[in-house]
Amino acid sequence: MNDIPHDLLGAIDRLRKEHNAVILAHYYQDDDIQDVADFIGDSLQLAKAAQTTNADVILFCGVHFMAETAKILNPERVVILPDLTAGCSLADACPAPMLQRMKDKHPGAKVVSYINCSAAVKAISDVICTSSNAERVVRSIPASDEIIFAPDKNLGAYVSKQTGRAMHLWPGTCIVHETFSERKLIELQSKHPRAHVIAHPECEAHILAYAHFIGSTSALLEYVRKTDAPTFIVATESGILHQMKKVAPTKELIPLPGMDENCACNECPHMRKNTLEKLYLALRDLQPRIEMDEGLRQRALVPLQRMMALG
């Protein structure tokens, strides 16, 4: 890439000021992207940051549904994503027309959709949730209502267990969180008997069963910061370790590997499509942009606002 300046960080900084841009990054981004971001957070924190920013341009370093959420909340702002093809296996697993068919089979059911879904799915949902607030969102629905939970069946099953609510689960999974190896987890636990196992609720139930703590990326980070244990076995995307090392430099952090020895399966291939070079080009050209039909945006906004109103 000849267009990339030698002083990449300096150039990003100049462009950020020139365009009055804010750089928002998810914890699963490469370390160098996290280090240039103005704000790093989980899905809920990033949506809130996008809602409250005064910037003219939002450079979203995450995956498509996250940048799309920022656009739904900010129709008047330019929202750019370094790589427009950075998708999500959960969002891809749930096309809106198929979810509509499930709704048709359960008329009257309330649809709770995990934020990892397209704007079209949001538009036919009653309320959105993230891994930080899924329990609270489900508890807010009257006990007499049937619930369809889409698109993550693992998060749905976990929330169903926590709340005691039976739900119709959409059969989607995260390609990262479904690949963690139980055998390696057992091996690691026997090597590090004092280790705490911490897991994201997108993991399968047989992995969650070993966890001392289950939570969103920001909750996992906070648990590592405040918990007095020498070692943590981390069952989520390994990008989070960058911030964990910063908040707990003396603690041993072991990313749980996937089942395949030959792949970095605990790295999300979608999240990792963004690079510092693409970030620079996006900021220079204000492209690629998230664009959306206004009617769709307004329909998708309603369930997002319901989630925000729950606090």
Residues near ligand SF4, by CB under 6 A: 28, 63, 88-90, 116, 174-176, 202, 237, 268, 270-271
Q: Minimal distance in Å, beta carbon 173 to ligand SF4?
A: 8
Q: Which does 270 bind (CB under 5 to 8 A by kind): ligand SF4, ligand 13P, none?
A: ligand SF4
Query: What are the two backbone dihedrals, phi and then psi, of residue 153, each rounded to the nearest 5 degrees?
Result: -70, -25
Q: Whose CA is closest to 116, among 125, 105, 107?
A: 125
Interacting residue ranges for ligand 13P, rule: CB under 6 A: 42-43, 116, 130-131, 174, 200, 202, 216-217
Evaluated on CA atoms 109, 115, 118, 120, the torsion sign reads positive
Query: What are the two backbone dihedrals, phi and then psi, of residue 141, each rounded to the nearest 5 degrees?
Result: -90, 130
15 or 66, CB closer to ligand SF4?
66
12 or 89, CB closer to ligand 13P?
89
28 or 210, CB closer to ligand SF4?
28
Cis previous bond, 201, omega within 30: no
Q: Which does 175 bind (CB under 5 to 8 A by kind): ligand 13P, ligand SF4, none?
A: ligand SF4
53 or 131, CB closer to ligand SF4?
131
Q: Which does 119 bind (CB under 5 to 8 A by kind): ligand SF4, ligand 13P, none?
A: none
With contact defined as beta carbons under 8 Å apart, do 226 and 261 qualify?
no
Q: Which does 170 bind (CB under 5 to 8 A by kind): ligand 13P, ligand SF4, none?
A: none
Q: Minimal distance in Å, beta carbon 65 to ligand 13P?
A: 8
116 or 163, CB closer to ligand SF4?
116
Give the separation between CA 229 and CA 244, rounded to whole angstroms.
Answer: 13
With contact defined as beta carbons under 8 Å apart, do 67 and 155 qualify?
no
Q: Minimal distance in Å, beta carbon 2 to ligand 13P?
A: 34
Q: Minimal distance in Å, beta carbon 131 to ligand 13P?
A: 4
Give the separation between CA 121 and CA 100, rounded to whole angstroms.
Answer: 9
Strand segments, DSSP code E, in 29-141 are 39-41, 57-61, 78-80, 110-114, 127-129
Q: Minimal distance in Å, beta carbon 201 to ligand 13P?
A: 8
Q: Minimal distance in Å, beta carbon 210 to ligand SF4?
A: 20
128 or 185, CB closer to ligand 13P?
128
Query: What are the two backbone dihedrals, phi and then psi, of residue 295, each rounded to the nearest 5 degrees?
Result: -65, -45
21 or 265, CB closer to ligand SF4?
265
Name every residue whose Cβ is closer than 8 Å to that of residue 165 and which is 6 or more positions away in sequence. Answer: 138, 139, 141, 143, 147, 159
141 or 199, CB closer to ligand 13P?
199
Q: Minimal distance in Å, beta carbon 243 to ligand 13P?
A: 11
Give the separation between CA 46 and CA 43, rounded to whole angstroms.
Answer: 5
Q: Which does 217 bind (CB under 5 to 8 A by kind): ligand SF4, ligand 13P, none?
A: ligand 13P
Q: Which does 216 bind (CB under 5 to 8 A by kind): ligand SF4, ligand 13P, none?
A: ligand 13P
Q: Whose CA is closest to 271, among 54, 66, 3?
A: 66
Give the separation between CA 276 and CA 8, rounded to whole angstroms.
Answer: 8
Q: Whose CA is closest to 123, among 299, 304, 307?
A: 299
Q: Which does 89 bind (CB under 5 to 8 A by kind): ligand SF4, ligand 13P, none?
A: ligand SF4
